[in-house]
Amino acid sequence: MNLLNSNDFWQFACQLYSEDGMQARLLDYQNLQGKNVNLCLLLYYLDSLNLAINQTQLSKLEQSISEFDQQALKPLRTTRAYLKTNQTEITDYAAIRKALLGAELKLEKQQQIILIDVVNSMDLTACSTPNNSDKYLA
């Protein structure tokens, strides 16, 4: 099997994220169910490639990004939310917001690289209708 490419995944993720309603759906998974958007995107990506993962592999993927999520992405999101709430008191809020969004995007891309590296170490199963996201979102 060919190894998956993180740049191809990034392009897929950006395209899917921009589709009507997808951003809101993914952010609902994140904010209401505590799911990881990049993992959701990866599972959709694997579905599009007709590749299935099992529950053990899904758990390994979740574990691989857990610390990065807790130590890098969640604190940055918390900072952005705090600043947004207090933007009237923040000098140059727009520039700070833009810089933080740029940093968050770079961290999201790094997390996708982690996921691709881990999935490339797995033996995936070819499947005509994999529905990987159902395993994660159920």
Question: Above 80 in pLDDT, residue 4?
Answer: yes
Which of the four pLDDT bands, split at 50, 70 and 90, describes residue 2? low
Task: Tell me the average pLDDT across 114-138.
Answer: 94
Which of the four pLDDT bands, split at 50, 70 and 90, describes residue 138? confident
Which of the four pLDDT bands, split at 50, 70 and 90, describes residue 116? very high
Task: Tell me the average pLDDT across 98-115.
Answer: 97
Question: Above 60 in pLDDT, residue 64?
Answer: yes
Print the SS3 string covering 18-84.
HCCCHHHHHHHHHHHHCCCHHHHHHHHHHHHCCEECCHHHHHHHHHHHHHHHHHHHHHHHHHHHHHH
Question: Hunting for tokens 């959701």 — which residue is that?
Answer: 40
For residue range 68-88, list pLDDT tens digits in order.
999 999 999 999 999 999 999
Q: What is the pTM of this model?
A: 0.92
Contact (CB, 8 A) for 41 and 13: yes
